[in-house]
Amino acid sequence: QAFMNTFLAAAAAGLAWAVVERVRDGHFTNLGVASGIVAGLVAITPGAGFVAGMSPIWIGLIAGVVCSFAVGVKFKAGYDDALDVVGVHFVGGLVGSLLIGLFADPDFFGGEFDAGLFYGGGLGLLGEQALANGVVIVFSFVVTFLIFKVLDATIGVRVPEPVETTGLDLEEHSETAYHADALTMGRL
């Protein structure tokens, strides 16, 4: 069941992201669909063994929509996230973890865990999930901040602007990862 839940959530999230792009931008992108699939995989991971029926589809749809908008926040907030880790992984994981509080179904699995709100469990599990997420977010932020400060004080976390403009691949490794010149010259 967990395998099927994972597949359904990923497919639903990819579809949801594509629909958001189509409505918002007039077209969908392959990168958007792929990002949606990853968001669905991330969102279902906390609850793959605790949800059933249509729940993984709903989790995927919600994650696809929420994460597609969360990725856009980086432009407004001005943080550097080339791989959309915050918008896809952080937000997707948070959404998926919270949705356990709505969709957990112990009757389907005969499990010894609390039911989600939509399965008669009330707000208890949702509150527990929110509290656990809050603790993990604070812990992760503090530890990451400390690691960042140690790295910044020792080896640094940024390269000089001219190096960044030229490209790290060329400056650090004397090669390029992408042959952009071949694209402009018509060869590939």
Q: How far apart are CA 57 and CA 14, in angstroms?
A: 11
Q: What angle do CA 15, 85, 141 make, to 5 degrees?
A: 135
| Chain centroid offset of residue 131 CA | 20
> What's the pLDDT band for 82 if we cut at 50, 70, 90?
confident
* Residue pointed to by tokens 């029926």: 53
The dihedral sign for the CA sequence 62, 63, 65, 70: positive
Q: Token digits for 70?
A: 């969360």
Mean pLDDT of 124-153: 98
Q: How far apart are CA 8 and CA 72, in angstroms?
A: 25
Which of 102, 118, 111, 75 has its CA nearest to residue 2? Answer: 111
pLDDT tens digits along 12-31: 999 999 999 999 999 999 99
Q: Is 105 helix (H, G, I), strand (E, B) or coil?
A: coil
Q: Are 12 and 40 contacting, i.e. CB atoms less than 8 angstroms apart?
A: yes
pTM: 0.86
The answer, yes or no, to whether residue 185 has pLDDT greater than 70, is no
- Single-letter residue type at 48: A
Residues in the chain: 188
Name the DSSP class of 114.
Answer: P
Q: Are 8 and 59 contacting, i.e. CB atoms less than 8 angstroms apart?
A: no
pLDDT tens digits along 114-137: 999 999 999 999 999 999 999 999
- From 29-43, 58-72, 151-165, the region with the lowest mean pLDDT: 151-165
Mean pLDDT of 101-105: 96
